[in-house]
Chain A
Amino acid sequence: MGEKDRTLTLLVDNKPDVLARIAGTFSGRGFNIENISANITLNPDITKIIIVTTGDRATVTKIRNQIKKIVDVRNVSYLKTKKSVQREMILAKINFTEDNREKILAAIEEMECRVVNQEADAFIVEATGKKDEIDRILLHFQSLGMEDFTRSGKIAL
């Protein structure tokens, strides 16, 4: 199997330096973090971290074995794409003029995105979706003259 994005879900002790330990293990051993998200769980002592990395299966197994050794990491699982729901989110700022306002709005709607804020000359648009959907939406927004955007890490279940 070749290189592709692979997702690891970590359950870790909610301690201040646990992210540094994980990030350090990746950088120290030459592994790649494509994106990362960390957040609370139902148990306040435990944080869930989702990391997307690239590499073949063997590399990801190596990463997993190294991450497992971190004392504060309770569990590492490999997220099978087919069996899980995975989402990313973006907020994008798209400028408009009187002339193209309607056209842009229609395009946003067509892509099933939501305008969450409207300024005098710009929309703030929210979109969620799988990675490739988000990639496509971003391309489209760019063609509409998107000024700026932020993109979340992946969350998955």
Chain B
Amino acid sequence: MKLTGAQILIKTLKAEGVDTIFGYPGGSVLDIYDELYRSDINHILVRHEQGAAHAADGYARTSGKVGVCLVTSGPGATNTVTGIATAYADSIPMVILTGQVPTPFIGSDAFQEADIMGITRPCTKHNFLVRKIEDLSKTIREAFSIARSGRPGPVLVDLPKDVIQAQLEEDKTIAAKPKSEDGGKSPDREALKQALEMIVKSKKPVILTGGGIILGNASEDLQKFVKKVKVPVASTLMGIGGFPGTDPLWLGMTGMHGTYYANMAISNCDLLITLGTRFSDRITGKIANFASKANLIQIDIDAASINKNVLVDIPIESDCKTALVHLNKLLDENGFAIPGEEREKWIDQLGQWKAHAPLSYCNSEKIKPQCVIETLYNLTEGEAIITTEVGQNQMWAAQFYHFDHPNTFLSPGGLGTMGYGLPAAIGAQIAFPEKTVVDIAGDGSIQMNIQELATAVNYKLPVKIVILYNGYLGMLRKWQELFYGKRYSHSYIRNSPDFVKLAEAYGALGLRATRPEEIEPTLKKGLESPLPAVMDFHVEPEENVFPMVKPGTPLVETIINSEELR
């Protein structure tokens, strides 16, 4: 018997264990959709292909599986690009299947032809154009393998219509999994030993975690390690959730909007151990002063990320989990003594910095965005999956919701993509139907993919959207306030829709709160609803995120609050 390309595709996806696809149909993928009609794969129809890509991303970040999306050629494919670039920046495993015009038409400017291979080459880990049906199954297998192995990332497979319609004898069709999936490279034992010696000897050590701690599934091993060596932990935005936010050794986020004490810790430590971070400019502040008193140990799965932005003393090429398992084992085998008194002094010092400038805000007659998030944290007992948009909303979410578990904080850290949060929440909710999933949004960002409310309503996904409505593109307004003489050039967003009515128009629950005492009842009502709920909080319009490090200045110059700027 013969199988069509479409049948081979679906069979291979099933063999890969794919149970959910986020997609949107079009002419060049009609054959695949016809096959899906007969398949038990769960296809989620979004309302915009960017939404499909972000939803697949949210699905991947929460479940740890490869997220899959399927779109048509031309505009369908180009609409996914922002979602792909977002996943690429954050190393999220995804496979994007795009329709393509038939192979004889490629290059002829055919209807709905786009060179999606060329367009996505710099924002995918790899991409494939399948030219013959014989290569189809094998290519799909490889795509999944590449997406999840090593430093993960999105992989695009371009599927010309004639390949999808062609036929092939069944016995030749479904390829086996590629043999070698490069897992973690075995870390250099000598380097690990050396690292451990430094850690044990260090008087003022700090651990800095990045997204690699979560992608590498290393959270438990990190906790074991920290228990033994008693080193405080700071994190990048992407590493949040990798170490419990309620642990006494947790310093919080570091960098541009990091806590004062995390930034002081990094600036004053004598040893910095980094796990799965690439030292982005948002983290280091002025790079010459970054951890300038410290020896650096960098553990990263990607050799190209080591010594890229910051030169380190001990580079260790390894995934975080393998490295930590080895370190824990070495500690158990060899025994060790940490310099008790010195270490206590350091932890004491950190406590003093924390007491000097804890994360805080002042209540007023208007709703404070931070208070909304704190209340949300309390009501959900810290157990919700939180997605964010971009802007101040994102930073407040990172600061005031205390994440105890990995894969529960989904934020487009690398690319900073407004419009990420809602579709990502949909993907997360599909992966975890029983969990509370909340998109913390700004009034600007939410309008970038608001159409996905229809998707949530359609699939009865009870995602919650908390809009911190300040009437501004707040993050930009803040920069204009502080650095551009309060010239609010195009950051005031007039005439946003009535979000309550909008929610209702979509068939979701719409709620609004304008006074502090309404925060809790509004959140309660929204969280309890079986429907998707939009909660519109009219917050203090000119509330600013602090602490903050001005670009180009060192972390020690962290500005704690607006008073300091006057």
A residues lining the B interface (CB < 8 Å): 17, 20-21, 24, 28, 58, 61-62, 65-66, 68-71
Contacts and interface: CB of A to CB of B under 8 A. Distances in A.
A21 B121 contact: yes
A58 B121 contact: no
Interface string B284-317: 0000000000000000001110111000000000
Nearest to A70: B126
A65 B121 contact: no
Majority-rule SS of A interface residues: helix
A5 to B, nearest CB: 22
A17 B122 CA distance: 12
Given A17-B117, A24-B121, A71-B125, A65 B303 contact: yes
Contact of B304 (A24, A65, A71): A65
B118 interface: yes
B146 interface: yes
B317 to A, nearest CB: 10
Interface in B112-127: 117-118, 121-122, 125-126
Nearest to A28: B122
B308 A17 contact: no
B362 to A, nearest CB: 45
Contacts of B303: 65, 68
Interface of B: 117-118, 121-122, 125-126, 146, 302-304, 306-308
Contacts of A66: 304
A69 B146 contact: no
B118 A20 contact: yes
Nearest to B155: A71
Contact of B122 (A24, A58, A61, A62): A24
Contacts of A69: 302, 304
Nearest to B308: A62
B121 A71 contact: no
16 contacts: A17-B117, A17-B121, A20-B118, A20-B121, A24-B121, A24-B122, A58-B307, A62-B304, A62-B308, A65-B306, A65-B308, A68-B303, A68-B304, A69-B302, A70-B126, A71-B126
Contacts of A71: 125-126, 146
Nearest to B142: A71
Contacts of A65: 303-304, 306, 308
Nearest to A65: B304
A50 B241 CA distance: 45
A63 to B, nearest CB: 10
Contacts of B304: 62, 65-66, 68-69
A55 to B, nearest CB: 14
Contacts of B308: 62, 65
B305 to A, nearest CB: 8
A92 B475 CA distance: 60
A53 to B, nearest CB: 16
A28 to B, nearest CB: 5
A40 to B, nearest CB: 21
A144 to B, nearest CB: 44
A24 B121 CA distance: 8
B89 to A, nearest CB: 13
A66 B302 CA distance: 10
B209 to A, nearest CB: 22
B278 to A, nearest CB: 12
Contacts of A17: 117, 121
Given A28-B122, A58-B307, 7 more contacts: A24-B121, A62-B304, A62-B308, A66-B304, A68-B303, A68-B304, A71-B125
A70 B155 CA distance: 12
Contacts of A70: 126
Nearest to A62: B308
Contacts of B118: 20
Contacts of B122: 24, 28
A28 B304 CA distance: 15
A62 B126 CA distance: 19
A20 B125 CA distance: 14
A19 B3 CA distance: 34
A20 B308 CA distance: 23
A66 B306 CA distance: 11
Contacts of A21: 121
Q: Which of B122, B126, B304, B308 has the most CB of A within 10 A?
A: B304
A28 B124 CA distance: 13
A20 B120 CA distance: 12
A30 B118 CA distance: 18
Contacts of B307: 58, 61-62
A28 B308 CA distance: 15
Contacts of B126: 70-71
A131 to B, nearest CB: 29
A70 B122 CA distance: 11
A28 B123 CA distance: 10
Nearest to A58: B307
